[in-house]
């Protein structure tokens, strides 16, 4: 399959092993926040998504060239075209006052991009490790007796061979994966987000069908913080916490910061913080810092109250844009309306930054916006944001934009 381009209607988490082997990816459906777009960026694989008709137009075995270097739209050209390679001397990159970090999903990506002079990892997604390395629903390891599907039970038996306690399999593989992400960047901060699967994604994990109920709108359903203190998932959350504790206190990567996603209310924040403490992750102990994703309008409106409970915020511009504008971020029909630069969204971002600084805590951004839109990066600099976390493949081209924005007259110091 070397050199082959994957052409498909769409991808989901089950496709990742194939996506890793592809030289490029083209899909009929999806937008900039679709599974194919997010995972291809993590893997460093060029992808053109949402073409609508690629599976009809592109013939199997045809020679094509993918280009993602010509602005916001990718192109698929007939034939194998010549291309130029630009080499960059890292020593020539301008210094910035804003901490410029990178988003990392997989251990392999961490070792691929470690040479970038990043200020750390602004977002490490736990889901990638769970989906691709562990593969089993955590509750299926806590309660294997509830897995009625013989095929799933056999897969669990095979994957956990050598672990008398199946829960140990989850904690060991997750801790090792997180440690591999933290290692290349030590002692710089590595912000690890707790699991943020939607129910449909959890159900695709091995054994997941026994523990997940279908939802009409998983994007707004049982996800993020709501899971961690619930009876349905709290035992699985305990495994996540133990893995993080091992990474920080036993393996020794105290640079790992833990981040809570999709926290809807202040009361929910208190419940999650208590659940974490019950499982051995206590804010302030052993230098542990807790961050919260700022991605729901309520997070911005009540930012001062949330700030009393966390050490920092990280703006998730994908979900914030979705919820401010009421636009399904996965909808192809509404893709033109999904824009992090919309005045309603930038007003919320500016308010979040101002409230965080007034409360004396750090605030960064780890969403897709600054990687896609240089003008949004300039706006964030103007607002005095503390850190911007970029997709690794956009890091080199965005650093000069941030540095130039910092030098403009009237820029906040």
Average pLDDT by stretches of 10, the chain with 413 residues:
81 78 85 74 80 84 80 80 79 93 92 93 95 95 96 96 96 98 97 96 95 94 97 97 98 98 98 97 97 98 98 96 92 86 97 98 90 90 96 90 87 53
The pLDDT assigned to 320 comes to 96
The pLDDT assigned to 350 comes to 98
**CATH tag for 90-407 (out of 1.20.210.10, 3.40.50.2300, 2.130.10.10, 3.20.20.60):** 3.20.20.60
The pLDDT assigned to 222 comes to 96
pLDDT tens column, 221-267? 999 999 999 999 999 999 999 999 999 999 999 999 999 999 999 99
Helix-, strand-, coil-residue percentages of the chain, each rounded to 5: 50, 15, 40
- Look at strands 256-260 and 290-294 and give their pairing: parallel
> What are the backbone dihedrals phi and psi of residue 2, each rounded to the nearest 5 degrees, phi first?
-55, 130
The pLDDT assigned to 333 comes to 83
The pLDDT assigned to 84 comes to 76
The pLDDT assigned to 2 comes to 65
Tell me which of 241, 263, 294, 366 is the catalytic residue: 366
353/357 Cα distance (integer angstroms) = 6
Q: Indicate the Cα dihedral angle 107, 185, 360, 94, nearest 10°.
A: -120
250/410 Cα distance (integer angstroms) = 47
| Overall residue count recorded for the chain in this entry | 413
The pLDDT assigned to 245 comes to 98
**CATH tag for 5-78 (out of 3.40.50.1820, 3.40.462.10, 3.40.50.300, 3.50.30.10):** 3.50.30.10
| Residue 364 and residue 85 in contact, taking contact as beta carbons nearer than 8 Å | no
The pLDDT assigned to 71 comes to 62
The reported pTM is: 0.87
Residue closest to 142 by CA, chosen among 229, 277, 233:
233
Q: DSSP per residue over 181-205, as a string?
A: HHGGGTTS-EEEEPP---HHHHHHS
288/76 Cα distance (integer angstroms) = 46
The pLDDT assigned to 80 comes to 82
Q: Is there a common fold for 5-78 and 90-407? A: no
| Residue 247 and residue 175 in contact, taking contact as beta carbons nearer than 8 Å | yes
Question: Where do the domains of the chain lie?
Answer: 5-78, 90-407
294 classed as catalytic:
no
Report in angstroms the alpha-carbon separations of 233 from 62, 142, 184, 209, 363: 47, 10, 32, 14, 29
**Max alpha carbon distance in the chain (Å)?**
66
165/174 Cα distance (integer angstroms) = 15
143 classed as catalytic:
no
Tell me which of 35, 137, 263, 294 is the catalytic residue: 35
């Amino acid at each position: 399959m070397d050199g082959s381009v994957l052409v498909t209607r769409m991808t989901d988490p089950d496709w990742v092993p194939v996506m890793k082997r592809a030289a490029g990816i083209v899909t009929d459906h999806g937008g900039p926040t679709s599974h194919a777009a997010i995972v291809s960026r993590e893997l460093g694989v060029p992808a053109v998504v949402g073409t609508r008709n690629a599976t009809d137009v592109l013939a199997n075995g045809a020679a094509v060239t993918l280009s993602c270097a010509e602005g916001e739209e990718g192109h698929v050209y007939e034939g194998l075209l010549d291309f130029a390679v630009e080499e960059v001397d890292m020593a020539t990159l301008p210094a910035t006052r804003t901490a410029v970090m990178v988003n990392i999903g997989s251990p392999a990506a961490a070792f691929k991009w470690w040479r970038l002079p990043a200020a750390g990892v602004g977002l490490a997604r736990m889901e990638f490790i769970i989906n691709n390395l562990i593969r089993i629903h955590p509750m299926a390891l806590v309660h294997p007796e509830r897995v009625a599907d013989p095929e799933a039970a056999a897969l669990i038996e095979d994957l956990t061979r050598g672990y008398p306690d199946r829960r140990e399999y989850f904690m060991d593989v997750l801790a090792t994966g997180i440690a591999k992400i933290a290692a290349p960047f030590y002692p710089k901060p590595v912000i690890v987000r707790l699991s943020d699967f939607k129910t449909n994604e959890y159900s695709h994990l091995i054994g997941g069908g026994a523990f997940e109920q279908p939802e009409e709108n998983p994007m707004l359903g049982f996800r993020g913080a709501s899971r961690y203190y619930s009876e349905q998932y709290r035992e699985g959350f305990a495994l996540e916490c133990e893995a993080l504790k091992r990474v920080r206190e036993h393996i020794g990567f105290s640079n790992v910061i833990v981040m809570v996603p999709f926290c809807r209310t202040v009361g929910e924040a208190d419940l999650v913080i208590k659940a974490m403490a019950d499982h051995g992750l206590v804010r302030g102990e052993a230098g542990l810092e807790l961050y919260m994703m700022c991605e729901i309008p309520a997070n911005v409106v009540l930012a001062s109250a949330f700030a009393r409970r966390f050490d920092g915020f990280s703006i998730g511009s994908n979900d914030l844009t979705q919820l401010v504008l009421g636009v399904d971020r996965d909808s192809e029909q509404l893709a033109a309306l999904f824009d992090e630069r919309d005045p309603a969204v930038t007003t919320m971002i500016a308010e979040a930054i101002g409230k965080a600084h007034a409360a004396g805590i750090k605030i960064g951004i780890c969403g897709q916006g600054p990687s896609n839109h240089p003008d949004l990066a300039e706006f964030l600099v103007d607002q005095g944001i503390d850190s911007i976390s970029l997709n690794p493949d956009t890091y080199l081209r965005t650093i000069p934009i941030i540095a130039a924005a910092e030098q403009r007259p009237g820029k906040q110091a």
